[in-house]
Amino acid sequence: MPPLIGVLGGMGPLAGVDLMQKMIRATAARSDQEQIPVLCWNVPQVPDRQRALAGAGTSPLPAMLAGIAVLNAAGATRIVIACNTAHYWFEQLAAASAAPLIHIADATLAALPPGACVDTAVGLLATRGTIDADLYQSRLAARGVSCIVNTEEEFERYFTPGCYAVKQGHIDAGAALLQQAAQALLTRGARQLLLACTEVPLALAHIASPLLALSIDPTWALAQECARYWHSAAQFE
């Protein structure tokens, strides 16, 4: 079966597009034909992940499983999820997929240079669901890196409304709020930022935020992992 990256996207739709764009950038290609082949299921009707994890909405799992089925039926050989929060259901999605799934936090840790961030604190910009699911903290702790996360008040004032503003297409306004959430982490001692919600790196890029210079972008790490897979699997002439 020829290599094909399946993207489970739509959460939100701009995050799927951002990942596709980064995959193209991560793939050194001399022609269209050497570029990375992708099938992106960008179906935003998946029920809200944050609300479901807060106990306030229906589970997104059946809709995501439908997406995984589409990607497998179409011949995907690897599948990635363009949403950190959705990785809460990673094991169930992986169990239902013939194609192996690449985990965004594994890709992020693989991209981190050895010794990076040790003995400093990383500001983890992520949804409450991503934090509660421990997607990043244990992986970072195993490398000697500790995390600072937003307080409840910062979530309510900055992070959550910022995230939903991006989803509503108010990217500038959303980015300004997300920058305030990031600034709060820096004020409390973070030296670097981990942009562990896929709306965050695209929003900060949209306003050319200076905070990007301090940031680790899991979407970019995932894109690089996909490009590595494509280069190892493809047979160029």
Q: Give the residue numbers marked as catalytic.
A: 83, 197
Closest approach, Cβ 235 to its own copies, in A, equals 11
Which listed residue (1, 56, 73, 142) binds its own copies by CB under 8 A?
73
Q: Tell me the residue length of the chain.
A: 237
Binding of residue 32 to its own copies (CB under 8 A)? yes
Which listed residue (54, 59, 62, 74) binds its own copies by CB under 8 A?
74
Closer CB to its own copies, residue 21 or residue 146?
A: 21
Determine if the peptide bond prior to 9 is cis (ω within 30°): no
Which listed residue (1, 8, 13, 87) binds its own copies by CB under 8 A?
13
Which listed residue (35, 146, 160, 180) binds its own copies by CB under 8 A?
35
Which listed residue (64, 65, 70, 142) binds its own copies by CB under 8 A?
70
Total chain residues near its own copies (CB under 8 A)? 42
The string of DSSP letters for the chain reads ----EEEEE-SSHHHHHHHHHHHHHHS--SSGGGSPPEEEEE-TTSPPHHHHHTTSS--SHHHHHHHHHHHHHTT-SEEEES-SGGGGGHHHHHHT-SSPEEPHHHHHHHHSPTTTTTTSEEEEE--HHHHHTTSSHHHHHTTT-EEE---HHHIIIIIHHHHHHHHTT-HHHHHHHHHHHHHHHHHTTEEEEEE-STHHHHHHHHTT-GGGGGEE-HHHHHHHHHHHHHHHH----
Binders of its own copies in range 39-58 (CB under 8 A): 39-48
Binders of its own copies in range 163-192 (CB under 8 A): 164, 167-169
Which listed residue (8, 14, 133, 175) binds its own copies by CB under 8 A?
14
Binding of residue 31 to its own copies (CB under 8 A)? yes
Give CA–CA dist 62/83, Å, rounded: 16
Q: Single out the segment in contact with its own copies by CB under 8 A; choices: 129-137, 160-168, 182-190, 207-215.
A: 160-168
Closer CB to its own copies, residue 60 or residue 218?
A: 60
**Positions that interact with its own copies (CB under 8 A):** 2, 4, 10-14, 16-17, 20-21, 24-25, 28-48, 70, 73-75, 164, 167-169
